[in-house]
Amino acid sequence: MASYPYSISSSGSDFSTPRSTSPSSVIGSARSSQSSISSSKRMSISSSRRISSSNPMSSVDIATIEEAMRMANLDVLRGYAQNHYGEVQQYATTEYVKQNQALGYQVLNEPLWNKGLSFSPEQRVSKNLTGLLPHVMEGADKQCERALKMIRSRQTSIDKYLYLSTIKGQNVDLFYRLLIDNAKEMMPLVYTPTIGDVCLQYSTIYTRPEALYISIKQRKSIRTILRNWPHPNPEICVVTDGSRILGLGDLGVNGVGIPIGKLALYTAAAGIHPEKTLPIVLDCGTANETNLKDPLYLGLRSKRIPVSEQQDFMDEFMQAAADVYPNMVVQFEDFESEKAFNYLDRYRNSYKCFNDDIQGTGAVVLGGYIGAVNLSGVPIEEQRLVFMGAGSAGVGVAKQLVEYYTKRGLSEQAAKEKFWLVDTKGLVTKDRGDKLAEHKKYFARVDNNGHQFRTLEEVIEYVKPSALVGLTATFGVFTESVVRALKASVDAGGLGRRPILFPLSNPLTKAECTFEQAVTWTDGTVIFASGSPFSNFTIKTGDTGITYYPNQGNNVYVFPGIGLGAILAKASRVTDNMIYTSAAALAGSLNAEEIHKGLIYPRIERVREANIIVAREVMKAARRDGVSTLPEAQWVEWEEWGDPALTKFIKERVYDPIF
């Protein structure tokens, strides 16, 4: 069957999609991407793929292309399509396309327009779909049912991911309906833990472009590459250099699965329109020998560049991103620690950006910790926290918690003294004898009287903590003796007290301990949160049993809301208060059932509700900090009408695919 990738608008001067308007903000028109089809002059990635595979003309010289473009006044055609212009031109001159009728097959093959079997009889006629679809007309439920059946029939998580990814490449609304309505089942597939395996195997399972790839060798072309993105005016970007992907280390460009996954969650968990999201991987080489030796590896086949060289590249990237997409918020993701801290410090006052691993994780752990302290029976002033892991996440979280304590009246010094950080060399102290990384210095202890504590057991014995947080990317470091020692130190404080244990590393293969171990080794008293999801655990006693419920302490509870809040507030910066407020908002987002069950985070099915609350509070914090550029009159109105009015404003702008 012939493929008609484009239609020509009535002016004949652009490649337009079926008639409708592009989402004007975030988020686009509420409810349906069908009604918010881009009127972009750019083509979609999927369209470009189709052209390349379906056309006979393969080589057209540049002069011919340029001439053809001039003649057709199609100067808006960019990037990939430009190389295939001759083929496009061929279609553009057919009578069929000129009459603007080439919609049918194109609609079905454009994931942002396709709504599968939901097209009404009238739409099937008006969009030339007659005969291209089976007779039945189905709503979202039926189509989700079919997709779920297929997903569940797949044996491995990767296969399930691949099936879901195929759906995303065919029918975006269906993909997000599945994700939103089946968060508990789907999120572990598009996000941690499965996304870890996906990244490890990305070179092999790659099928289509879903992100922008910018390599150090293309540093002179960053703006051009950014403009090649097919969707107009993205509002949220997740960028990585692949140097610390989850707890899996340097995966190079194969880390691209993380920005793609995180942005899928921006849409599912905060309703940011898929067209407004931009995943980017900066290819700076890799230290990963396995990837470098893999003939299928997708990135530059060279050693990772030095940090100093990457600094200049990053400067250029940030400036280019701000120039090309001035409204876009940039989320830094999975950069190795030194760069993560450095970039955050360097850019936070000049650009709209935040670091998810430092700030998002800080906020999500604080959000859970507030609830955990209430359940623990250990008064806030008696809390003592040991952190295993002093990287971007460990230090980021500890600093966020210091802010919590200072807001509760402690001096910064007294707050800081509640934290003992442990790394591969033991307790982080000033006189340990090694050169401490810059980001660790703030927490380096000076009260160790010259003694160095090398193991976690020694630290627990010395500190007698009430809480133990793991951000090491190392499986099993919370051993039975460690967990039992934590419990003993909490028990010693008084009856009924409960230990707080957060093995937060991702994916599951890097968790410091499992939920079952935590429950067993603490005789069921643990208050537990992990980065990747664990199942409930039931201890059978005769015919009955006790079921224990884990929490997932993952930044997905806040980063979508932080981004959404920053976008909707039209914030010029992402401030510390916006981050802090996201934690407080998360802590306050649990419903009665969750509180009754002893949870410290909302159930994952409510991740979207929680993020809407987070977004609302982040907007208000932006306004308080003077970084919201919304008209003052708008804020005055919201102040008058209160939270429901602001919540309504947000809900009216979020993407919720109905078809």
The label of the residue with tokens 């005016």 reads 233
Q: How far is the CB of 361 from Mg ion (least distance, A)?
A: 7
**261-264 contacts: CB < 8 A, separation 24 or more?**
261/190, 261/191, 261/195, 261/198, 262/191, 262/238, 262/331, 262/333, 262/356, 262/559, 263/236, 263/238, 264/168, 264/179, 264/190, 264/191
The stretch near ligand NDP (CB under 6 A) out of 40-48, 267-275, 312-320, 547-555 is: 547-555
Q: Which of 27, 222, 467, 473 binds ligand NDP (CB under 6 A)?
A: 473
Residue whose Cβ sits closest to ligand CC(=O)C(=O)O: 506
Half-sphere exposure at residue 156, Cβ-oriented, CA atoms within 13 angstroms: 7
Compute the distance between CA of residue 334 and CA of residue 244 in angstroms, rounded to an integer: 5
474 binds, among ligand CC(=O)C(=O)O, ligand NDP, Mg ion, none (CB under 5 to 8 A by kind): ligand NDP
Bond preceding residue 507 cis, omega within 30 of 0? yes
List, in sequence order, every beta strand (DSSP E) within 450-536: 467-470, 500-503, 527-530
Q: How far is the CB of 257 from ligand CC(=O)C(=O)O (least distance, A)?
A: 12
Q: Which of 28, 188, 389, 531 binds ligand CC(=O)C(=O)O (CB under 6 A)?
A: 531
- Is 127 assigned a catalytic role? no
User: Is residue 562 near ligand CC(=O)C(=O)O by the rule CB under 6 A?
Assistant: no
The stretch near ligand NDP (CB under 6 A) out of 20-28, 66-74, 170-178, 386-394 is: 386-394
The label of the residue with tokens 């000129």 reads 98
Q: How far is the CB of 429 from ligand CC(=O)C(=O)O (least distance, A)?
A: 27
390 binds, among ligand NDP, Mg ion, ligand CC(=O)C(=O)O, none (CB under 5 to 8 A by kind): ligand NDP
User: Is residue 424 near ligand NDP by the rule CB under 6 A?
Assistant: yes
Compute the distance between CA of residue 590 and CA of residue 582 in angstroms, rounded to an integer: 14
Q: How far is the CB of 357 from Mg ion (least distance, A)?
A: 4
Q: How far is the CB of 636 from ligand NDP (least distance, A)?
A: 37
Of residues 315-334, those binding ligand CC(=O)C(=O)O (CB under 6 A): 334
Q: Which residues sit in the known binding site for a divalent metal cation?
A: 333-334, 357
User: Is residue 361 near ligand NDP by the rule CB under 6 A?
Assistant: yes
Q: Are 452 and 432 in contact (CB under 8 A)?
A: yes
- Which one of the listed residues 160, 262, 352, 418 is annotated catalytic? 262
Compute the distance between CA of residue 280 and CA of residue 435 in angstroms, rounded to an integer: 33
User: Is residue 582 near ligand NDP by the rule CB under 6 A?
Assistant: no
Rg (CA), the chain: 26
User: Is residue 362 near ligand CC(=O)C(=O)O by the rule CB under 6 A?
Assistant: no
* Residues 6+ positions from 451 with CB-CB distance below 8 Å: none
Q: Which of 167, 236, 246, 508 binds ligand CC(=O)C(=O)O (CB under 6 A)?
A: 246
User: Is residue 506 near ligand NDP by the rule CB under 6 A?
Assistant: yes
Compute the distance between CA of residue 550 and CA of residue 536 in angstroms, rounded to an integer: 6
User: Is residue 510 near ligand NDP by the rule CB under 6 A?
Assistant: yes
Nearest to 27 by CA among 139, 165, 168, 176: 176
Compute the distance between CA of residue 505 and CA of residue 245 in angstroms, rounded to an integer: 11
Compute the distance between CA of residue 187 and CA of residue 179 in angstroms, rounded to an integer: 7
Of residues 262-291, those binding ligand CC(=O)C(=O)O (CB under 6 A): none
User: Is residue 234 near ligand NDP by the rule CB under 6 A?
Assistant: no
- Is 262 assigned a catalytic role? yes
Q: Are 35 and 131 in contact (CB under 8 A)?
A: no
User: Is residue 391 near ligand NDP by the rule CB under 6 A?
Assistant: yes
Beta-carbon count within 10 A of 480 CB: 11
Compute the distance between CA of residue 141 and CA of residue 147 in angstroms, rounded to an integer: 10
Burial of 539 (0-12, 13-18, 19+ CB in 10 A): middle
* Residues 6+ positions from 328 with CB-CB distance below 8 Å: 233, 234, 235, 236, 237, 278, 321, 322, 352
Q: Are 533 and 550 in contact (CB under 8 A)?
A: yes
Nearer to Mg ion, 210 or 334 (CB): 334
User: Is residue 401 near ligand NDP by the rule CB under 6 A?
Assistant: no
Interface with Mg ion by CB under 5 A: which residues?
Answer: 334, 357
User: Is residue 511 near ligand NDP by the rule CB under 6 A?
Assistant: no
Compute the distance between CA of residue 534 and CA of residue 472 in angstroms, rounded to an integer: 18
Q: Which of 250, 356, 423, 594 binds ligand CC(=O)C(=O)O (CB under 6 A)?
A: 356
Nearer to ligand CC(=O)C(=O)O, 240 or 291 (CB): 240
Q: Which residues sit in the known binding site for (S)-malate?
A: 244, 506, 554
Q: How far is the CB of 447 from ligand CC(=O)C(=O)O (least distance, A)?
A: 31
First to last CA, the chain: 27
- Which residues of this protein are in contact with ligand CC(=O)C(=O)O, per CB under 6 A? 192, 246, 334, 356-357, 506, 531, 554-555
Binding footprint of ligand NDP on the chain (CB under 6 A): 244, 246-247, 337, 357, 361, 364, 388-394, 422-425, 471-474, 477, 504-506, 510, 531, 553-555
Write out the catalytic residue numbers.
191, 262
